[in-house]
């Protein structure tokens, strides 16, 4: 525990209550979110790739390269894995609040990690569909290559939310420094 850590008093009981619930929700989501995409991916790896490509809307005359498909499959997991990691940081943050620690370096690290991975997940959601499309049609013949451009509100909001969290972490870092200074006044 560092000097100046701001702890809560008995009046902050409701904050503890909300934090423990948010920590539980974050933990459940962090663990369960990657399960479905990983299961789907395992299913795809055992599916005929030509069929997979046609289902994905890619007009490919022949099956995509096995290795490239594998890489594309792994890349498609990046956004959800980043989101899972972000939720794990969120869990740490809420657990700190629940244990009564409001301002400390650990809070800053957890909030910064939360924001960073939400932003990475958003950025990956914007870039990866294009990259995956290119990978899957890399070996396709002339006129069969596809360029997928995905621009949804979800990844953009994730980027914005991640940036907001990052800013909040920076403000928390400043507040922690002030609290540390304040603790040295007797």
Partner 1 sequence: MQILVTLDVMLAKRKIRSKDLAVHIGITEANLSLLKQGKVKGVRFETLAKICEYLDCQPADILTFQRTTDEETL
Q: CA-to-CA distance for 179 and 59, rounded, in angstroms?
A: 60
CA 24 to chain centre: 17
Q: CA-to-CA distance for 106 and 113, rounded, in angstroms?
A: 11
For residue 11, the minimal CB distance to partner 1 (Å) is 20
Residue among 151 and 185 whose Cβ is closer to partner 1: 185
For residue 167, the minimal CB distance to partner 1 (Å) is 28
Tokens representing 80? 């959800």
For residue 182, the minimal CB distance to partner 1 (Å) is 9
Residue among 12 and 180 whose Cβ is closer to partner 1: 180
Angle between helices 105-136 and 153-183 (to 10 degrees): 160
184 lies in the binding site for partner 1 (CB under 8 A): yes
Binding flags for partner 1, 124-163, as an x/- string (CB under 8 A): ----------------------------------------
Span from 105-113, 139-147, 157-165, 177-185 in contact with partner 1 (CB under 8 A): 177-185
Dihedral sign of CA atoms 80, 86, 92, 97 in order: negative
Q: CA-to-CA distance for 111 and 114, rounded, in angstroms?
A: 5
Look at phi and psi of residue 27 and say left if phi exceeds 0, alpha if psi is from -120 to 50, else beta: alpha
Span from 54-62, 84-92, 143-151, 178-186 in contact with partner 1 (CB under 8 A): 178-186
Q: Are 173 and 93 in contact (CB under 8 A)?
A: no
Residue among 55 and 182 whose Cβ is closer to partner 1: 182
Residue among 48 and 181 whose Cβ is closer to partner 1: 181
Residue among 1 and 186 whose Cβ is closer to partner 1: 186
Q: Which residues bind partner 1 (CB under 8 A)?
A: 181, 184-186
């Amino acid at each position: 525990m560092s000097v100046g850590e701001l702890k809560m008093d008995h009046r902050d009981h409701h904050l503890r209550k909300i934090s423990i619930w948010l920590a539980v929700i974050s933990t459940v989501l962090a663990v369960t979110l990657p399960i479905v995409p990983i299961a789907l991916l395992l299913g795809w790896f055992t599916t005929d790739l030509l069929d997979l490509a046609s289902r994905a809307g890619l007009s490919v005359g022949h099956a995509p390269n096995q290795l490239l498909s594998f890489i594309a499959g792994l890349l498609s997991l990046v956004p959800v894995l980043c989101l899972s990691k972000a939720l794990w940081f969120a869990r740490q943050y809420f657990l700190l609040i629940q244990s009564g620690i409001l301002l400390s370096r650990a809070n800053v690290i957890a909030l910064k990690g939360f924001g960073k991975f939400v932003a990475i997940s958003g950025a990956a959601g914007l870039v990866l569909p294009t990259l995956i499309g290119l990978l899957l049609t890399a070996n396709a013949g002339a006129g069969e290559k596809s360029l997928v451009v995905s621009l949804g509100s979800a990844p953009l909001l994730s980027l914005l939310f991640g940036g907001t969290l990052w800013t909040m972490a920076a403000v928390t870092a400043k507040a922690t420094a002030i609290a540390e200074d304040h603790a040295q006044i007797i």
